A and B are shown apart, each in its own frame.
Chain A
Amino acid sequence: MIVDVHGHLGPWFFFPSEGTAAENLRVMDAYGIDIQLVSSVEAVTYDPVAGNAALAEAIGDEPRLRGLFVIDPRDLAAAEQQLDELRGLFVGVKIHTHYSATPAGSPAMADALRLCADADLPALVHTWGTEILDLADTVASVPGARAIAGHMGGPAWRLAPEALTRTDRLWLEPCYSRPDAGRVRWVLDRIDPQRMLFGTDSTLIDPALAFGAIRAAHLSAEEERLVMSANAIDLFDLDLS
């Protein structure tokens, strides 16, 4: 089984795209992805309130797509209110540090993660550069918060093992449109494999990049079981029935 914890649903402004659930499923089928956790492109790049509602509608009858609720830390009141209404439709949260102009080490991020902890939802947080360490420190400072460092810091992936030493409530997700050679293996050799999840950033990025990086890492059978599905099922408490 393959669970992709880093997906999106909706059209991207970089290229023509229908942005429908059918498009997600077509790509998932092409790569053998069983379940994909998706956040709304509209919510990430423009308006969380409109985007989260549209996503809930789009995936309501599609069991292979599970929702990530987008929070803009600059407007937690709106997030809190909408989460009350839609809580049961989402398995986790997505926070994008760039689009929401909220660095991972900021007080606003801590407040957003506090909201996630209160809702008992893990958060996939975009991390780029050294902010992967800042995110780790923020997670450590918020009791009960659980976060996944999306992109594993991007170009700063060598900091990922250090980030995991700062809290046992941080996980890694390594998708990256510029995958340096040997990156996933290098990190896995330095961490507990229970701390890495599989993600693609589809439909922004072709899953070939994530699968290519995983293939190059030559996962053991146990690493494959954990990284490709089991860790995600545990962390997001996914109902597979």
Chain B
Amino acid sequence: MIADCDLLIGREITSGLRQTPEQLAGQLAQAAIDGGALASLRALQFDVQTGNDEAAGAALRYGWWPVYGIDLRDPLGAEQEMDRAADHGVRLLRLAPGRQEIAGTAPRLRILVRRATELGMTLLVEGSTVDVGTGMLGLGASVVFLDQHFYDLGEFILLARDEPGFHVSTRLLGSPGAWELLLEHAGPERLLLGTRAGWFEEHAVLDQLKGSPLAPEERELIAGGNLRRLAGGSS
């Protein structure tokens, strides 16, 4: 089973493109991705409640994991939405500091990450350790960096030694040997398949999955096992 930690529906304001749940389902089917963790661009860019309800509804319909977005531009509202997520049994939160133009060093980021950690949430964070890692350090946070580029993979590995909850998505780890380097230094538990299907060429990542010399148990963890663990069970 292949599960993608980086699924998005809605309208992307910078490109003007849209992806409905139905289109995403078709995209996943053609790529032989079975499901994943779904968030809404509406929640990340415009209105958290209606956006998150949209994601939850689509996730329920297709058997995916719902991911609630929070809006860092409204940190008090973000606190409330975290509580609503917890009330709804949602374990995954998506943070988008870059998209919302909030600096990775903003105090609110650190405070909200601490609160999410206390609630037992895993954070799917747009950005890399370079951009937003400082806000996650030393809090025992469970984080998946969705935009960690292979240029900075070494920094992630250094941080992973002290941060057992730090994980990374495959999406931008596109150098030869990047996955193997990560597995050697941080272990297969830290890598999650993330393609951002429909917005990014998912075959670019899937071909790496096929081509990487992974042991079956490593492949299982990367392709879905780690996401199942962080999301809290099956979707």
Residues of A within 8 A of B (CB): 12, 14-17, 27, 30, 177-181, 183, 202-206, 208-213, 215-216
Contact = CB atoms under 8 A, between A and B. Distances in A.
A202 B149 contact: no
Interface centre among A17, A204, A212, A216 (most CB of B within 10 A): A212
B4 to A, nearest CB: 13
B177 interface: yes
Interface of B: 15, 149-151, 153-154, 172, 174-178, 181, 197-208, 211
A208 B211 CA distance: 8
A206 B201 contact: no
Contacts of B176: 17, 27, 202-203, 205-206
Contacts of A204: 175
29 contacts: A14-B150, A14-B151, A14-B154, A14-B175, A15-B150, A15-B177, A17-B177, A177-B150, A177-B174, A178-B200, A179-B204, A180-B15, A180-B200, A181-B199, A181-B202, A202-B176, A206-B174, A208-B205, A208-B211, A209-B201, A209-B204, A211-B203, A212-B205, A212-B207, A213-B203, A213-B204, A215-B203, A215-B207, A216-B203
Contacts of A209: 174, 201, 204, 208
Nearest to B15: A180
Contact of B175 (A15, A178, A181): A15
Nearest to B14: A155
Nearest to A180: B200
Nearest to B201: A179
- Among B176, B178, B206, residue most surrounded by chain A Cβ atoms (within 10 Å): B176
A108 to B, nearest CB: 27
Contacts of A210: 204
A205 B200 CA distance: 16
A205 B175 contact: yes
Contacts of A183: 201
A15 B201 contact: no
A180 B150 CA distance: 17
A208 B174 CA distance: 8
Given A16-B177, A212-B205, 20 more contacts: A14-B151, A14-B175, A177-B150, A179-B200, A179-B204, A180-B199, A181-B201, A181-B202, A206-B176, A208-B205, A208-B207, A208-B211, A211-B203, A211-B207, A212-B201, A212-B203, A212-B204, A212-B206, A213-B204, A215-B203
